[in-house]
Amino acid sequence: MRDYHEYHYSLRERVRYFAEAVVVILLVSYLFYHSVFAVILLVPFYPVYLKIKAKQLLQAQKQELCGQFKETISSVAAALNAGYSVENAWREAKSEMEQMYGKQALIVQELRYLLAHVALNVPLEDLLNDFAVRSDMEDVVSFCQVFFFAKRTGGDFIGIIRTTAERIGQKIELQRQLAADLAARRLESRIMNIVPLVILLYLNLTSPGYFDVLYGNLSGICTMSVCLAVYLFAYALSEQMMQSIAMV
């Protein structure tokens, strides 16, 4: 099954981000160097770009899976409350998640895998523990630990699952509120990151020859390389600040 410690690109995503990387490389080569050779030197940027995007996509994937997991355990709690056995409650939750998210949703794939192995007499708690390890999410890990303990000791399944679902739901809601509050700041950060490139492109297009002294000679290449390094540092710093605020 899927390992959520790393992001696996689909073919469509690889094509998309390859095209994006090509655009960025061509733009940087034109704005900072006016040289075709710069394109070759910037080719190593592509795997770095894929790594950056993978980190962002993996975080979004985990947030999506966490929300789906919260709905799943709420469905399991409702099924247990209606008199279903533990295994049948998860089967009922799978049907509801298919209706809610579709058959290709991450949580539906996980539930399909779980139920297939339960049918082969694999202990449910072992399967949930495997999911917790692969998902690498604190909420899933804590739920599986409590679920395992409750099943072994005959604890209140319904109460445990309902309480966990409520706690995860509250956490998700807080994250959504924080994301909404940060949306304006993130937009401002994106604009500030783009402005220098827009100014440079504008001057190159409207005033041909204005920056000729910075292109085609060693001192100009060194100067533009320093400017590019400063720009990349500022961009990375702004992204790091946004991530730090979001994690508070």
Between CA 211 and CA 156 the distance in angstroms is 73
Question: Per-domain residue ranges for the chain?
Answer: 11-247
97 band by pLDDT with thresholds 50, 70 and 90: very high
Residue 62 has pLDDT above 90, yes or no: no
pLDDT > 90? residue 170: no
Higher pLDDT, 226 or 67: 226
pTM reported for the whole predicted model: 0.76
Q: Regarding predicted confidence, which is higher, 165 or 222?
A: 222
Tell me the pLDDT band of 244, cut-offs 50, 70 and 90: low
For the chain, how are helix, strand and coil distributed in percent, rounded to 5?
85, 0, 15
Whether the Cβ atoms of residue 133 and residue 5 lie closer than 8 Å to each other: no
Tokens read off for 188: 């401002």
Any idea what DSSP says for residue 32? I
- Closest among 165, 56, 62, 162 to 107, alpha carbons compared: 62
203 φ, ψ (degrees, to nearest 5): -65, -35
Q: Is there a contact between 248 and 241 (Cβ–Cβ < 8 Å)?
A: no
Tell me the mean pLDDT in the region 169-179.
75
Give the pLDDT band (50/70/90) at residue 154.
Answer: low
Query: Would you give the DSSP letter of residue 155?
Result: -
111 pLDDT exceeds 80? yes
> Residue 157 has what pLDDT?
67
